[in-house]
Amino acid sequence: MMKIWRRGIHQFPNLNARSVPKELIEKGQQRVIDASLTLIRERAKLKGELVRALGGAAASSSLLGVPLGHNSSFLQGPAFAPPRIREAIWCGSTNATTEVGKELNDPRVLTDVGDIPVQEIRDCGVEDDRLMKIIGESVKLVMEEAPLRPLVLGGDHSISFPVVRAVSEKLGGPVDILHLDAHPDIYHCFEGNKYSHASSFARIMEGGYARRLLQVGIRSITSEGREQGKKYGVEQYEMRSFSKDQHFLQNLHLGEGVKGVYISVDVDCLDPAFAPGVSHIEPGGLSFRDVLNILQNLKGDIVAADVVEFNPQRDTVDGMTAMVAAKLVRELTAKISR
Ligand SMILES: [Mn+2]
């Protein structure tokens, strides 16, 4: 009975779509896409005007949520992460000052342009080729409003590809990427999906959007992951040799001679003891302080960043991982804004 019912609801969209003329569907999709971009454009404009009116900011973090989970190979919970992260940033259990003394209440340090309506766009049948372009366009709309710089809330890791592509296209050249993750996410194609969250860095490297890619925290890597890493000249720092690499990684200087530095933080770079609310529990990871040491000591112009793969459906009842993801966002904010 349950099986028939499930099959039933999934067939409804197809049945309905068949009775609607193709042109009408395309027109409807375009209207939804235009409305979505208008939403981001106007919000970015509003926040940009505010920050410029206050004056004095050369670079300013602006949150952009990308609630997308369908390119995950396992669980789709990261689609629900952006509102949970915002809630934890402002929950009041801690103050609004970052460790290095930046005030998050100051719009010149942090603003928020809201979420891309990913679900609404997908509901009208828009496929991933187009959805990825819409995500990229949204990132560019934020970058239009200097001094705003996008701090993207995922979402599964597939979103890093369109975000990095947009950043590189907008700045007119490649960036250096610091990628913290248990996994290299560099399969040429995972389970038939070129946009898989396990393939985002293959797309980034083949597109030439990064000069250097440093992957830190790696402890779940297949032979394909290593071969792909070699093919693209990726600097893969595995956890098994972290004690040896630690000093180097906690004193990085990136982005010179390119357009800047992009930081991508998969929450599962952390040991599950620190962040249990992720889809892929992978023991033997970084401590929260390891990550902060890497981020806080990094020298370079951070042009954009993302925090991805927090899965609220796997979090503890008190939302511990939401707080962890929020603190990563807070400290990245401090890193970007000046
Ligand atoms: Mn990962």
Residue 228 lies in a domain: no
Q: How many domains does the chain contain in total?
A: 1
268 a known binding residue?
A: yes
The predicted-structure confidence for 214-241, as pLDDT tens digits, reads as follows 999 999 999 999 999 999 999 999 999 9
User: Residues of the chain with pLDDT > 90: what percent?
Assistant: 92
Q: Are 332 and 307 contacting, i.e. CB atoms less than 8 angstroms apart?
A: yes
Q: Is residue 253 part of a domain?
A: no
Q: How many CA atoms lie within 13 A of 266 on its CB side?
A: 33
Distance 278 CA to ligand 1 centre (A): 9
Residue 238 Cα, ligand 1 centroid: separation in angstroms? 13
Average pLDDT over residues 42-71: 98
Distance 52 CA to ligand 1 centre (A): 37
Q: How far is the CA of 47 from the centre of ligand 1 (A)?
A: 32
Range of the domain at 43: 23-172+264-336
In a domain, 121, yes or no: yes
Q: Using CA atoms in the order 132, 137, 138, 142, what is the torsion angle rounded to 10 degrees? A: 140
Distance 198 CA to ligand 1 centre (A): 8
Q: What string of DSSP letters covers 174-197? A: -EEEEEE-SS----SSBTTBTT-T
Does the annotation list 115 as a binding residue?
Answer: no
The pLDDT of 66-79, averaged and rounded, is: 94
9 part of a folded domain: no
Tell me the CATH number at 164. Answer: 3.40.800.10
How far is Cα of residue 168 from the mean position of the Cα atoms in its chain?
15
Q: For the residues 37-50, what does the mean pLDDT come to?
A: 98
Q: Ligand 1 center to residue 100 CA distance, Å?
A: 27
Q: Does residue 141 lie within any of the structural domains?
A: yes
150 close to 64: Cβ distance less than 8 angstroms: yes
| φ/ψ (deg, to 5) at 63 | -70, 135
Cβ neighbours for 329, distance < 8 A, ≥ 6 positions apart: 63, 85, 89, 151, 153, 307
Residue 209 lies in a domain: no
User: Which of 73-77, 160-164, 236-240, 321-325 shows the lowest mean pLDDT across its residues?
Assistant: 73-77
Angle made by CA atoms 145, 149, 155, in degrees to the nearest 5: 120
Ligand 1 geometric centre to CA of 266 (Å): 5
Residue 168 lies in a domain: yes
Residue 245 resides in a domain? no
Kindly report, residue by residue over 97-145, the tens digit of the pLDDT. 999 999 999 999 999 999 999 999 999 999 999 999 999 999 999 999 9
318 is an annotated ligand-binding site residue: no
Distance 45 CA to ligand 1 centre (A): 33
Q: How confident is the model at residue 21 (pLDDT cuts 50, 70, 90)?
A: confident
Residue 243 burial (10 A CB sphere; 0-12, 13-18, 19+): exposed
- CA-nearest of 289, 292, 286, 267 to 278 is 267
183 is in an annotated binding site: yes
Ligand 1 centroid distance, CA of 308 (Å): 9
pLDDT number for residue 213? 98
Buried b (16+ CB within 10 A) or exposed e, 321-335: bbbbbbbbbbbbbbb
Q: Produce one character per residue of 279-289: b if its CB has 16 or more CB atoms within 10 Å, e if not.
A: bbebeebbebe
Q: How far is the CA of 15 from the centre of ligand 1 (A)?
A: 37
d(CA 300, ligand 1 centre) in Å? 24
Task: Tell whether residue 185 is among the known ligand binding residues.
Answer: yes
139-155 mean pLDDT: 98
Q: How far is the CA of 11 from the centre of ligand 1 (A)?
A: 33
Q: What does the pLDDT read at residue 16?
A: 60
